[in-house]
Amino acid sequence: MDVRVRGTAQDGGVPHLGCGCSRCARAREDPTAVRYPAALRVDAGESLLVDASMDIRHQIVGGVDGVVLTHAHLGHLPGLLQFGREVLDADRLPVYCTPELAEFVRTNQPFAALVADENVSLRPVDADASIELPEGEIRPFRVTHRDEFGTGTLGLELRGRRTLVYVPDIDAWDDRTVARIDAADVAVLDGTFWATDEIPRQADVPHPPVRAALDRLPLAGTDVYFTHLNHTNPLLDDGSAAYATLADAGAGVVDPGQRFDLG
Ligand SMILES: [Zn+2]
Ligand SMILES: [Zn+2]
Ligand SMILES: [Zn+2]
C-alpha cells in the first residue's frame, strides 16, 4: 500500500479567500506557495482518493477507482461534483462515506444528480467496517467533529503491512483516538492551528492546537505528521519557531507530495 499526500491545507487552502496576509499574498504570486486542502491518494492494487476538495482538479489527474469521504465540510465533499456530467462523467464511481453522509448526498442537490445519473455509487461504511483493497484495507472509525448536517466524521486506518492513521479533522484528541494513534506506525493528523489565538472566531471551529497536542499525542512510538494547516498556521513556514519546536518534539508537517510506503 502506497499513500501519497495530495493536499495539506485546511478546507479553504492557501491562499485563503479574502485574506491579505503575507503568506496568502505570496501564494497568489508564487504557485509553489499554493497549498491545496488535505487529501490523500491510496494505491493498493486499486487507487482511492481520500476527500474531494474544490481543488481536486489540481490534486489528481483522474483515474481513481473510488473516493473515500471523511465528512461533509467544504474541503472534503464538494469536489465530488467534478465526477458529474459537466466534467469527468464517471461511471458508478464507488464513494465510501458514513451512512448519514450517503443519505445526505442522495437527497440533496446538486450532489443527488451524481447518484441519479449513476456517476457515483454510494457505499456506506461505518466504524469498524472494512474497505477491502487487493493489497490492503481501510478501516474507518468515528471521530467527534462539528456536525451541522448530522452526517458524522470518519478517521481512517490505512493498513498494509504497516498502519497509517489519518485524522484530518477532529475537535479534540480523545483517549480512544490517541490509543489508535499509539498503535499505528504513522499518523497524519489535524494540525489546523498551532495555537489558540490564530483567528478571532476560533471557538466556533474547534480543532486541537498543535502546540498543546505535543504533550498529549504519543510521539515516541508513532511517526506523527500534521496536515490540514490553516493559512494562519506558522507551521507552513519551515523557518518558523513553531516548525523548530515541532521538530524538537519529534513530529513534523507533511510535505505536499509526500509518500508513505506501508508495504
Ligand atoms: Zn477540513
Ligand atoms: Zn492568509
Ligand atoms: Zn471539517
Q: List pLDDT tens digits, range 113-137.
A: 999 999 999 999 999 799 999 999 9
Q: Tell me, in angstroms, the distance from the centre of ligand 2 to residue 23's CA.
A: 6
Q: Tell me, in angstroms, the distance from the centre of ligand 1 to residue 73's CA.
A: 6
User: Residue 256 and residue 35: Cα distance in Å, rounded?
Assistant: 8
- What residue ranges of the chain have pLDDT lower than 50? none
pLDDT averaged over the chain?
A: 96
**DSSP secondary structure of 114-177:** HHHTTSEEEEE--TT--EEETTEEEEEEE-----TTS---EEEEEESSSEEEEES--SS--HHH
Classify strands 154-159 and 163-167 as parallel, antiparallel or unpaired: antiparallel
Which residues are placed with Cβ below 5 angstroms of ligand 2, an ion? 16, 19, 21, 24, 231
- Domain that includes residue 176, residue range: 2-261
Per-residue pLDDT tens digits for 35-78: 999 999 999 999 999 999 999 999 998 789 999 999 999 999 99
Domain count, the chain: 1
Ligand number nearest CA of 15 is: 2
Residue 22 DSSP SS3 = helix
Long-range contacts of the stretch 205-210 (C-beta < 8 A, 24+): 205/146, 206/146, 206/171, 206/172, 207/169, 207/170, 207/171, 208/170, 208/171, 208/172, 208/173, 210/235, 210/242, 210/246
Statement: the pTM of the whole predicted model exceeds 0.85: yes
What pLDDT is stored for residue 153 in this prediction? 98
Ligand number nearest CA of 234 is: 2
What pLDDT is stored for residue 63 in this prediction? 85
What pLDDT is stored for residue 201 in this prediction? 81
**CATH number of the domain that residue 210 is part of:** 3.60.15.10
